[in-house]
Amino acid sequence: MHYVIDSLWRGAVQLVRRPMYVLMIVIMPVLCAWFLMDLLKTGSVQRVPVAMVDLDRSGVSRRMARNLGSFQQVEITNHYTSFAQAKDAVQRGRVMGFFLIPEDFEENLLGGRQPVLSYYVNYAYFAPGSMQYKSFKTVSVMVGGSVVQTVMRTVGLRDEAIKPLLLPYATHVHMPGNPYLNYNYYLNASFVPTLLSLFILMVTAFALGTELKTGLSVRWLHRAGDNIVVALWGKLLPQTVLFTVVGWFIQWMMYVKFHFPLNCSPWTMILAMPLLVMANQGFAVTMFCFAPNFRFGTTLCTLFGMLSFSFCGFSLPAESMYPWVAAIGHMMPSKYFFLITTDQALNGLPLYYSRVYYAVLIAFTLLPLPLLWRLKHEAADPVYIP
pLDDT (mean) for 362-384: 85
pLDDT (mean) for 56-78: 83
* Cα–Cα distance measured from residue 314 to residue 370, given in angstroms and rounded to the nearest whole number: 31
pLDDT (mean) for 104-112: 78
- Cα Rg, the chain, nearest whole Å: 28
pLDDT at 167: 58
pLDDT (mean) for 342-357: 91
* Cα–Cα distance measured from residue 96 to residue 49, given in angstroms and rounded to the nearest whole number: 6
All domains of the chain in start order, with CATH: 2-41+180-380 (no CATH), 48-166 (3.40.1710.10)
pLDDT band at 57 (very low <50, low <70, confident <90, very high): confident
DSSP characters over 51-62: EEEESS-SHHHH
DSSP characters over 198-222: HHHHHHHHHHHHHHHHHTTHHHHHH
Which range is least confidently modeled, 107-111, 143-147, 297-301? 143-147
pLDDT at 25: 92
pLDDT at 344: 92
Residue of 60, 58, 57, 78 lying closest to 69 (CA atoms): 78
Q: Which residues of 251-284 are buried (b: 16+ CB within 10 A; e: fewer)?
A: bebbeeebebbbebeeebbeebbbbbbbbbbbbb
pLDDT at 151: 57
> What mean pLDDT value characterizes the chain?
83
pLDDT band at 1 (very low <50, low <70, confident <90, very high): low
Contact 354, 343 (CB under 8 A): yes
More confident residue, 35 or 324: 35
pLDDT (mean) for 231-251: 93
Q: 110 pLDDT exceeds 80?
A: no
Q: 111 pLDDT exceeds 80?
A: no
Which range is least confidently modeled, 212-216, 227-231, 354-358? 212-216
pLDDT (mean) for 316-345: 85
pLDDT at 18: 85
Q: 68 pLDDT exceeds 60?
A: yes
More confident residue, 161 or 4: 4
* Cα–Cα distance measured from residue 247 to residue 26, given in angstroms and rounded to the nearest whole number: 9
Q: How buried is residue 368: exposed, middle or buried, by Cβ count under 10 Å (0-12/13-18/19+)?
A: buried
pLDDT at 202: 93
Which range is least confidently modeled, 44-48, 103-107, 212-216? 44-48
Q: Is the pTM of this model over 0.85?
A: no
pLDDT at 131: 79
pLDDT band at 357 (very low <50, low <70, confident <90, very high): very high
pLDDT at 350: 92
Which range is least confidently modeled, 118-132, 235-249, 334-348? 118-132
What share of the chain has pLDDT > 90, as a percent? Answer: 25
pLDDT (mean) for 65-89: 86
* Cα–Cα distance measured from residue 215 to residue 36, given in angstroms and rounded to the nearest whole number: 39
More confident residue, 219 or 143: 219
What share of the chain has pLDDT > 70, as a percent? Answer: 86
Amino acid at 261: P
Amino acid at 102: P
Contact 90, 120 (CB under 8 A): yes
Residue of 127, 62, 117, 55 lying closest to 96 (CA atoms): 127
pLDDT at 251: 95
Going from the C-alpha of 114 to that of each of 56, 109, 119, 384, the distances in angstroms are 15, 6, 16, 69
pLDDT band at 29 (very low <50, low <70, confident <90, very high): very high
pLDDT at 361: 95
pLDDT at 358: 95
Backbone angles phi, psi at 52, to 5 degrees: -120, 130
